[in-house]
Amino acid sequence: MNNRMTSFLLIPLLLVACGKESRKPNIPEPQRPPQQKEYTFATTPSWADEFEYEGLPDEDKWSYDVGSQNNGWGNNELQFYTEKRSENAYVANGILTINAIKEEHEGLAYTSARLVSRGKADFLYGRFEVRAKVPQGVGTWPAVWMLPTDWKYGGWPASGEIDILEHVGYDQDVVHISVHTEAYNHSIGTQKTGTKKIQNATTDFHRYRVDWTPAYIRGYVDDVQIFSFQNEGKGYKVWPFDQQFHWLINLAVGGNWGGQQGVDEAAFPARMEVDYVRVYALIEN
């Protein structure tokens, strides 16, 4: 989820890298840029979760990343991500709720959840859309984003990251859509991010979308484009987005970015609500 524009902004998760792949990647030679054409997408989702059920998130679609900064990954966040715990992630009335709670757990002061579709729903290209409402309160750091399933080019940021929605509570109603690569990331001052201040991000649902094609990644909020990133044809360091990625949905507490202005304990429990997530297949013209 996450990372942002200055050197100290590490994305939720940026994490990501969760201490992932240390194996030596098989790196191909740079390719020519793909033809710069416009792509279209199917009008009916090829995969979705509409959350029209009750209880824990659908096990056929979602697993959990479990643990905390104490496990060696994260961005100095304050929460412990739990597994199959309805206090932190549940579905009711057509809505998925990720709930961050102030409570002692595994030596940390907060609990929350981080859902992943890894190994159950992995994708190469498509239109990815989520309708969501982010929480209010200083110290919250929600994200809906995507990571590579196989880490083809090595650990973060070499294999890439796509952020469909990111928000920090101290920056009310300002939302972000981003990508991260070895050549373009916050840690070296080359971050590629689209940012927009919208009305009522914490009280109303909005649609956040990324169109991912072989030639470009574009980001939209309520169908208004706020972000564009082109495939420059310079190899994986610029464009690692030729491999399968999967969904992540999480609500972090504090951390390198979310906790930049402290954490308001009175803001908890804090809830991120998701109406649906949908994937529309890319149509090969």
Tokens of 280: 């529309």
Active site residue 161: yes
How high is the pLDDT of residue 21? 39
- The predicted structure's pLDDT at residue 13: 39
Label residue 223 exposed, middle or buried (CB < 10 Å: 0-12, 13-18, 19+).
exposed
Catalytic residue chosen out of the listed positions 161, 182, 273, 284: 161
Please list, in sequence order, all residues whose beta carbon lies within 8 angstroms of the beta carbon of residue 244, skipping any fewer than 6 positions away.
122, 123, 124, 148, 149, 150
SS3 (DSSP) at 281:
coil
Which helix (H) or strand (E) segment holds residue 197: the answer is strand 192-197
Helix (H) or strand (E) holding 89: strand 89-92
- Rounded to whole angstroms, how far apart are CA atoms 95 and 184? 35
Count other C-beta atoms under 10 Å from residue 187's C-beta.
15
Catalytic, out of 77, 166, 182, 273? 166
Whether residue 157 is preceded by a cis peptide bond, meaning omega within 30 degrees of 0, is yes
Residues in CB range of 55: below 8 A, 6 or more apart: 86, 90, 91
pLDDT at 34: 73
Listed by start position, the domains of the chain span: 2-17+43-283
In degrees and rounded to multiples of 5, residue 85 shows phi and psi of: -120, 110
Pick the CATH number of 2-17+43-283 from 1.10.150.120, 3.40.50.261, 2.60.120.200, 2.60.40.10: 2.60.120.200
User: Can you tell me which residue has the tokens 């190994």?
Assistant: 119
Concatenate the DSSP letters of all residues of 201-233 into one string.
TTTS-EEEEEEE-SSEEEEEETTEEEEEEE--S
Give me the amino acid identity at 214.
Answer: P
Distant-in-sequence, close-in-space partners of 59: CB < 8 Å, separation ≥ 6: none
Please list the pLDDT of the chain residue by residue as tens digits (285 residues): 644 333 333 334 334 433 333 444 556 555 666 777 899 999 999 999 999 999 999 999 999 999 987 776 678 999 999 999 999 999 999 999 999 999 999 999 999 999 999 999 999 999 999 999 999 999 999 999 999 999 999 999 999 999 999 999 999 999 999 999 999 999 999 999 999 999 999 999 999 999 999 999 999 999 999 999 999 999 999 999 999 999 999 999 999 999 999 999 999 999 999 999 999 999 976
Handedness of CA 56, 59, 62, 65 (dihedral sign): positive
Angle subtended at Cα 64 by Cα 60 and Cα 69, rounded to the nearest 5 degrees: 170
Task: Residue 13: name the closest of 192, 248, 246, 203 by CA.
Answer: 248
Torsion angle of alpha carbons 152, 157, 162, 165, nearest 10°? 150
What share of residues in the chain are helix, strand, coil (percent, to 5)?
A: 5, 45, 50
Instruction: Give the pLDDT of residue 188.
Output: 94
What pLDDT score was predicted for residue 27? 60
- Residue 166 among the catalytic residues: yes
What pLDDT sits at residue 30?
A: 56
What is the phi/psi pair of residue 95, to 5°?
Answer: -130, 135
